[in-house]
C-alpha cells in the first residue's frame, strides 16, 4: 500500500506540474491525490510496520504489533490514524484561515482603490529609475501582503503607466524576482514562510534578522545588472489619462497594511496562533469598511435605492479559493506520506549522504521546477532541528527565492505569466539568469552571516 500511496503522489504531482498543457486547474489533482492517499492509509493501516507521530516528532515504537483498535484507553492503529489526521487537518486549517483573512483584507483595500496611492507616487519617466521604484515596492509590499498579491497589484499599476507590452514583460520579470525575495524574509510574505512560522519552526524576529540582508542582496544584484540592459534605457511615454483616487483610499491602505503587520506582534505578545490575530485584524478592517460604506450610502441615498452587499462580502467573493483548496490538497497529501514515516526516513538518509546546506540549496533550485509548498511541507518532516535552527531559515530563503529562476516556479511567476502572457522560454532567456545570480548571491551572504 505504501507503493500505491507514493504513486498517487507522483502522478498527482506530475498533473500539477503539467497544469497548463493539460488545461486542468492544479487544485483538482491536489484534492484527488489527497483523498486517494488517505484512503490508501485507511485501507492499509493494518499492514504498516511504522507510523510517524507528529506530536512527538518520532516514530511510534512497536507500531507493527499494535491491535487495530485500542482497548482500555490504549491507542490502537486506527486511533493513531484518526489522531494524526485530525492533527494535520488542524494545522493545515490554521494556515488556510490565516491566508483567507490576509486575502480578504487585501481585497477590501482594493475595494477602496487603496493601491492607486502607489501609482500616484510614481512620477518618473526614466526606465531605470522606474525599475528601482517598482523593485523596491515589490520587495516591501510582498513582505506585508505576500508575493502573489504584490505582483498582481504592481502589474496592474504598470499597465496604467507603460503601454509597451514587451517593456512591461521585462518589468514583470523583475517584479517576480523582487517579490519572491521580499516574501522570503517575512513570516507573512510567502506561503512557505507562513507555514514554517505557524508550525513553530521559526520565529518572526529571528526570520527577519537572519534573512533580511540575504533577501535584499537577492533583489539588489539582479536589479543592478538589469539597469545596464538595453530594455531599461531611455524613458517611457507619458500617460494620457489620470485617475482620481477615492477620498478614503490612503486611509484604508495604511489601515489594512498596518493590521496585517500587527498580526506577528499579536502572536508575540499573546502566544496565540497567528490566525487568531489575523481574524482580529480582519474584523477591525471589515468594521471600518462597513462604517465608511454605510456613511457614504446614507449621505448619497436616493429614493428606492438599495444598499446591496458591503465591501467585506464583495472581498470574500474575490479571494483565491482555488489556491486555498490547492494548499489543502497538497499539505494533507504530504501529511499522509509523513504519517507512514517515508519523509522522516528519507530525511535521515539525506543527512547521512550530503551536507544539509547542499541539500537545501538544491531544494531551492528544485522549487523552480516543483511547487515550493509541498517541498517545504516535506522538509519540515525531514529535520528534527529545534525552532530557529539555521536550517529552517535557509529553507525559508531557498524555497522562497529559488522559484524565481523559472516563471512556473512561484505563485508570483504564474500570475505574471497569466496577466502579461509571458511565455516560459521568453522568461528563461531573459530573466532566469538574473534570478539565478541573485539566488546564489543571497546564499553566499546567508552562509557568511
Check residue 304 and give its pLDDT: 43
Task: Kindly report, residue by residue over 202-249, the tens digit of the pLDDT.
Answer: 998 999 999 999 999 999 999 999 999 998 988 887 565 555 566 788
Task: Kindly report, residue by residue over 305-345, the tens digit of the pLDDT.
Answer: 444 578 888 888 888 788 788 888 888 888 888 888 877 77
Cell numbers that stand for 400 in this block: 522562497
Cell numbers that stand for 88 in this block: 494535520
Among 411, 435, 400, 404, smallest CA distance to 211 is for: 400
Q: List b or e across 245-269, with b for residues whose CB sees 16 or more CB atoms inside 10 angstroms.
A: ebebbbebbebbbebbeebbebbee
Decide: 94 and 198 in contact? Cβ < 8 Å. Answer: yes
Domain residues for 209? Answer: 2-448
Indicate whether 178 pLDDT > 90: yes
Give the pLDDT band (50/70/90) at residue 38: very high
Indicate whether 393 pLDDT > 60: yes
Give me the helices (H) in 227-371, please. 249-270, 274-299, 311-318, 321-339, 342-353, 356-366
Q: List b or e across 175-200, with b for residues whose CB sees 16 or more CB atoms inside 10 angstroms.
A: bbbbbbbbbbbbbbbbbbbbbbbbbe
SS3 for 159?
Answer: helix
Most confident of 10-24, 173-187, 189-203, 354-368: 173-187
Query: What are the backbone dihedrals phi and psi of residue 164, each rounded to the nearest 5 degrees, phi first?
Result: -75, 115
Q: Which stretch of DSSP H or E encloses residue 63?
A: none
Task: Kindly report, residue by residue over 56-68, the tens digit of the pLDDT.
Answer: 767 888 888 888 8
Give the pLDDT band (50/70/90) at residue 95: confident
Distance CA 123, CA 119 (A): 8
pTM for the whole structure:
0.75
Neighbours of 104 (CB within 10 A): 22
Check residue 243 and give its pLDDT: 57
As a whole-number percent, the residues of the chain with pLDDT over 70 amount to 94
If one compares 416 and 344, the residue with the highest pLDDT of the two is: 416
Among 91, 99, 89, smallest CA distance to 279 is for: 99
Q: Give the rounded distance of the alpha carbon of 178 from its chain centre.
A: 14
Which residue has cell 504598470? Answer: 158
Indicate whether 53 pLDDT > 50: yes
Question: What is the crossing angle of helices 390-402 and 204-226, to 10°?
Answer: 40
Query: What are the backbone dihedrals phi and psi of residue 58, each rounded to the nearest 5 degrees, phi first?
Result: -155, 165
For the chain, give the number of residues.
449
Distance CA 314, CA 332 (A): 29
Count of the separate structural domains present in the chain = 1
Cell numbers that stand for 381 in this block: 518532516
Amino acid at each position: 500500500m505504501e507503493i500505491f500511496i507514493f504513486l498517487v503522489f507522483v502522478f498527482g504531482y506530475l498533473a500539477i506540474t503539467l497544469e497548463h498543457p493539460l488545461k486542468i486547474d492544479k487544485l483538482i489533482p491536489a484534492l484527488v491525490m489527497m483523498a486517494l492517499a488517505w484512503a490508501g492509509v485507511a485501507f492499509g493501516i493494518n499492514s504498516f510496520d511504522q507510523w510517524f507521530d507528529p506530536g512527538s516528532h518520532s516514530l511510534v515504537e512497536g507500531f507493527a504489533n499494535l491491535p487495530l483498535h485500542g482497548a482500555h484507553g490504549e491507542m490502537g492503529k486506527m486511533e493513531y490514524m484518526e489522531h494524526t489526521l485530525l492533527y494535520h487537518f488542524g494545522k493545515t486549517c490554521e494556515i488556510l484561515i490565516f491566508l483567507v483573512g490576509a486575502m480578504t483584507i487585501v481585497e477590501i483595500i482594493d475595494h477602496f482603490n487603496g493601491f492607486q496611492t502607489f501609482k500616484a507616487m510614481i512620477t518618473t519617466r526614466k526606465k531605470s529609475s522606474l525599475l528601482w521604484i517598482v523593485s523596491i515596492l515589490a520587495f516591501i509590499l510582498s513582505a506585508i501582503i505576500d508575493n502573489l498579491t504584490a505582483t498582481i497589484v504592481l502589474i496592474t499599476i504598470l499597465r496604467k503607466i507603460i503601454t509597451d507590452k514587451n517593456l512591461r514583460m521585462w518589468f514583470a520579470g523583475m517584479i517576480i524576482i523582487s517579490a519572491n525575495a521580499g516574501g522570503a524574509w517575512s513570516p507573512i510574505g510567502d506561503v512557505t514562510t507562513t507555514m514554517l512560522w505557524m508550525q513553530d519552526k521559526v520565529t518572526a524576529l529571528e526570520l527577519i534578522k537572519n534573512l533580511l540582508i540575504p533577501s535584499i542582496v537577492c533583489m539588489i544584484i539582479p536589479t543592478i545588472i538589469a539597469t545596464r540592459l538595453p530594455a531599461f534605457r531611455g524613458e517611457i511615454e507619458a500617460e494620457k489619462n489620470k485617475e482620481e483616487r477615492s477620498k478614503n483610499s490612503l486611509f484604508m491602505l495604511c489601515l489594512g497594511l498596518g493590521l496585517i503587520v500587527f498580526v506577528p506582534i499579536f502572536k508575540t505578545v499573546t502566544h496565540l496562533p497567528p490566525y487568531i490575530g489575523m481574524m482580529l485584524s480582519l474584523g477591525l478592517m471589515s468594521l471600518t469598511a462597513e462604517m465608511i460604506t454605510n456613511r457614504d450610502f446614507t449621505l448619497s441615498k436616493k429614493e428606492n435605492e438599495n444598499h446591496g452587499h458591503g465591501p467585506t462580502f464583495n472581498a470574500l467573493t474575490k479571494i483565491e479559493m482555488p489556491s486555498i483548496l490547492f494548499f489543502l490538497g497538497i499539505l494533507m497529501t504530504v501529511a499522509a506520506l509523513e504519517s507512514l514515516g517515508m519523509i522522516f526516513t528519507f530525511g535521515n538518509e539525506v543527512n547521512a549522504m550530503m551536507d544539509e546546506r547542499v541539500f537545501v540549496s538544491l531544494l531551492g533550485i528544485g522549487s523552480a521546477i516543483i511547487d515550493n509548498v509541498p517541498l517545504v511541507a516535506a522538509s519540515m518532516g525531514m529535520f528534527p532541528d529545534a525552532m530557529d535552527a539555521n536550517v529552517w531559515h535557509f529553507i525559508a530563503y531557498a524555497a522562497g527565492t529559488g522559484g524565481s529562476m523559472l516563471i512556473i516556479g512561484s505563485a508570483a511567476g504564474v500570475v505574471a505569466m497569466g496577466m502579461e502572457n509571458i511565455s516560459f522560454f521568453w522568461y528563461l532567456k531573459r530573466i532566469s539568469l538574473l534570478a539565478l545570480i541573485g539566488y546564489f548571491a543571497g546564499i553566499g551572504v546567508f552562509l557568511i552571516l
